[in-house]
Amino acid sequence: MNIITIEHIAKIYQVGSEEVFALRDVSLKIDKNEYVAIMGPSGSGKTTLMNILGCLDTPTKGLYNFNGLNVSDMNDNELAQIRNREIGFVFQTFNLLPRSNALHNVELPLIYAGIKATERRERAIEAITHVGLLDRMTHKPNELSGGQRQRVAIARALVTRPSIILADEPTGNLDSKTGEDIMYLFNELHQAGNTIILVTHEESVAEHAARIIRVRDGLVEKDEQVLNRVIPVKRAANI
């Protein structure tokens, strides 16, 4: 079953009198429980594609169907609701609220979903436990290491039980070992049945996915299954 279907999507920016194509014509299908990497050099349009897939932005042309809903016609509020319920974001720079502790950061999407305090707390603690940070949940982001921050961000992405997890260069700001730990976590989430979309420009990161979509000049250059997937191993000492 397709979670994401996009057909002939284009994104055009007006710069002065000139039209700039960030995306020219992209069509994709992503199934439930797929592990997809979107690759491309900078300027390829992969960020624009990610923004559209993440419902942060809408396409200028084309159709975007998410879980049977036509996203391309949605207004701001409806998009916010989709982002809240269906999509879990993981960013390169973690994007945690700096003044709130880990627990509150994880709780935040549930606040916007209108879930009551007691249930919210339970679910947030559950998600934090899942990423192995139960003992750090009252710490603020600046009291956590990079890897721990990214785990908090992943917990925040998971807590709403979204249809897809969208990770934008999740290891970009981490050293390679910590990065490996994060990739292990993604692998685990994938095996637990989550759909994961990874945006990266690093081949070594993309190879963790089962499928790589290569974007260049606003077009899909290649869409292939990965033959030799890297399966990350859990390190003994955890961060």
Partner 1 sequence: MKNFLFELKEGLFISLRAIKANKVRSVLTTLGIVIGVASVVLMSTAIKGINQSFQKGVSSLGSDNLYIDKWEWFNNDVPWWKIRNRKNLKMEDYEKYKERAKLPLASAPTVWTSQTVKYNQESVEFVFIQGTTHDYINTTNLSFTYGRFFNELESNGSRNVCVVGSEINKKLFPRDDGFEKTVEIKGIKFKIIGILEEQGSYIMGNFNPDNQVFVPINNIFKYYQSADSRSITINVRARNSQTVEDVKEEAIGIMRQVRGLKFDQPDDFSINQQEGLLTTINNTVGVIEVAGLLITGLSLFVGAIGIMNIMFVSVKERTKEIGIRKAIGAKRRTILGQFITESAIICLIGGLIGLIVAIIGVKIIEQYDFPVSLEFDAFILAVTISLLTGVISGFAPAFTAAKLDPVEALRYE
At position 190, the amino acid (one-letter code) is: H
Write down the least CB distance from residue 118 to partner 1, Å. Answer: 13
Write down the least CB distance from residue 188 to partner 1, Å. Answer: 22
Write down the least CB distance from residue 184 to partner 1, Å. Answer: 24
Q: Which is nearer to partner 1, 91 or 184 (CB)?
A: 91
Q: Which is nearer to partner 1, 14 or 238 (CB)?
A: 14
Q: Where are the beta strands (DSSP E) in the chain?
A: 2-15, 18-31, 35-39, 61-66, 69-70, 87-90, 164-168, 195-200, 211-216, 219-225
Q: Which is nearer to partner 1, 87 or 206 (CB)?
A: 87
Q: Using CB under 8 A as the criterion, which residues of the chain lie in contact with partner 1 when the complex forms?
A: 51, 54, 56-57, 76-77, 80-81, 83-85, 89, 91, 95-97, 99-100, 108-109, 111-114, 156, 160
Contact 138, 101 (CB under 8 A): yes
* Residue of 163, 79, 156, 152 whose CA lies nearest to 110: 156
Write down the least CB distance from residue 96 to partner 1, Å. Answer: 8
Q: What are phi and psi of 173, to 5 degrees?
A: -105, 15
Which tokens sit at 172? 């970009």
Q: Which is nearer to partner 1, 2 or 95 (CB)?
A: 95
